[in-house]
Amino acid sequence: MTPTPRDWAARFSDRMARVRASEIRELLKLLDQPDILSFAGGIPDPELFPVERIEAAYRRILADADLARQALQYSVSEGYLPLRQWIAGRMTRDGMPCTADNIMLTAGSQQALDLLGKLLLSAGDTVLTARPTYLGALQAFNGYQPAYLDLPDGALSGAGGEAFEARCAGAVGYFVPDFANPTGRSLTLSEREGLLDLADRLDMTLIEEAAYRDLRFAGEPLPTLLGLDIARTGSIETARTLYCGTFSKTLSPALRIGWVCGAAAAIEKLVLLKQGADLHVSTINQMVAHQVVSEGYDQHLGRLRAAYGAKRQALLAALDRHMPPGVAWSIPEGGMFVWLTLPEGLDGKILLERALAEERVAFVPGEPFFAEVASRNCLRLSYSMPGDADIDEGVRRLGRLIARAG
């Protein structure tokens, strides 16, 4: 009867069969070698963290005996009320009229996706998403064993076809309308309206992820799906869209603070799930975030936009300079990513192995970002971390490799 280590596999629930190691995360563990020029990590540039403001906020809160007692104690699962009120005010100004009752704080938008999966998905339910889509969302949803459906070309202008629309009925849609990870692409206004038309026609619930929305450095802001939805139905309480925001890309991902905004009836249920999942977000981190955003968030965002906009310019210029014919790429108006489409026949994963070995340059192959049917001749470049000289040199090496491999 003595168990052996192998027994553990038999003890895991059937749900675990779909939960596998992320290739990106495994890969990132290998990228600590300092001589590699990396476009792999989609993480914020630590030089842009508001360290002094964050340090001052921790110091001020912990130096006040009453605030310290509150900051270090258990707190409510919906989150710190002043921060929820601040977020509701900001969402309202961004075209999504709401109150603190429509906001629940989460441990980053990753937890928002996990709790939304728990709320909305049972095994076999359909998730409709872009092609490619955010890998972290797939990881959050996989535990609930949904079936995935790629959004086909033309679907947002009503030309998805009958078979597609039959599969969509009652589905949950997951989309990143602004500067999506991994493509950097945004939905146009008419695509946003088309998505809502589809959702209304087929009674879909929509999850809108807005992780990069505050990082626009070109073009004009477009209304969110939730904002358009509220305009249609007259109130957030009747909107079918649940919006996920985060401070991870703008303040610091290490605070683990994101939020869900939507109908109070959904937020109430999410609060119960949050309570069972981990009780609440770190109280002190919520108070720190509230203090930091109350002291000039827009000014801080201006600094981020300028910095990431310049890095994106450097990457686009380097691509123009160094990429061989047959390679295409997205032109992001915000966020951290450019999506490269390679000549047919090239495989991003094989190219990565060669890039690491032959050119000491790294990126993320495109394949893991596809929910239903994968493409192989694609990859994701992030410009958030490297400096201008490394961007140019890295792209030069990558272009040289692609020319050799093609």
The verdict on 297 binding a copy of itself (CB under 8 A) reads no
**By CB under 8 A, what part of segment 152-191 binds a copy of itself?**
none
Residues 6+ apart with CB under 8 A from 197: 158
**By CB under 8 A, what part of segment 330-359 binds a copy of itself?**
none
C-alpha to C-alpha distance for 210 and 247, rounded to whole angstroms: 10
Q: Which of 33, 153, 169, 278 binds a copy of itself (CB under 8 A)?
A: 278
The verdict on 21 binding a copy of itself (CB under 8 A) reads yes
The verdict on 240 binding a copy of itself (CB under 8 A) reads yes
The verdict on 194 binding a copy of itself (CB under 8 A) reads no
**By CB under 8 A, what part of segment 79-108 binds a copy of itself?**
106-108
Q: Which is nearer to a copy of itself, 272 or 350 (CB)?
A: 272
**By CB under 8 A, what part of segment 31-70 binds a copy of itself?**
43-44, 46-47, 49, 51, 54-55, 58-59, 62-63, 65, 68-69
Min CB(195)–a copy of itself separation in Å: 15
Residues 6+ apart with CB under 8 A from 286: 75, 79, 80, 83, 105, 257
Q: Which of 96, 121, 187, 362 binds a copy of itself (CB under 8 A)?
A: 121
The verdict on 75 binding a copy of itself (CB under 8 A) reads yes
- The region of 184-192, 229-237, 303-311, 364-372 touching a copy of itself under the rule CB under 8 A is 229-237
Query: In 3D, which of 279, 285, 243 has the Cα closest to residue 261?
Result: 243
The verdict on 301 binding a copy of itself (CB under 8 A) reads no
The verdict on 119 binding a copy of itself (CB under 8 A) reads yes
The verdict on 405 binding a copy of itself (CB under 8 A) reads no
C-alpha to C-alpha distance for 123 and 173, rounded to whole angstroms: 16
Q: Which of 181, 283, 330, 384 binds a copy of itself (CB under 8 A)?
A: 283
Min CB(137)–a copy of itself separation in Å: 9
- The region of 230-238, 322-330, 334-342, 350-358 touching a copy of itself under the rule CB under 8 A is 230-238
Q: Which of 200, 295, 344, 353 binds a copy of itself (CB under 8 A)?
A: 200
Q: Which is nearer to a copy of itself, 94 or 114 (CB)?
A: 114
Tokens 């140019």 label which residue?
392
Q: Between the CA of residue 58 and those of 71, 72, 76, 288, 304, what are the distances in Å?
A: 10, 11, 20, 6, 22
The verdict on 246 binding a copy of itself (CB under 8 A) reads no
Min CB(264)–a copy of itself separation in Å: 8
Interface size with a copy of itself, residues (CB under 8 A): 93
Q: Which of 34, 35, 73, 357 binds a copy of itself (CB under 8 A)?
A: 73
Q: Which is nearer to a copy of itself, 49 or 297 (CB)?
A: 49
Query: In 3D, which of 313, 338, 359 has the Cα closest to residue 40?
Result: 338
Q: Which is nearer to a copy of itself, 186 or 252 (CB)?
A: 252
Q: Which of 9, 166, 357, 373 binds a copy of itself (CB under 8 A)?
A: 9
C-alpha to C-alpha distance for 98 and 92, rounded to whole angstroms: 6
Min CB(241)–a copy of itself separation in Å: 10
C-alpha to C-alpha distance for 290 and 295, rounded to whole angstroms: 9
- The region of 137-145, 175-183, 302-310, 362-370 touching a copy of itself under the rule CB under 8 A is 137-145
Query: In 3D, which of 101, 135, 106, 132 has the Cα closest to residue 119?
Result: 106
Q: Which is nearer to a copy of itself, 2 or 299 (CB)?
A: 2
Omega cis (within 30) before 365: no
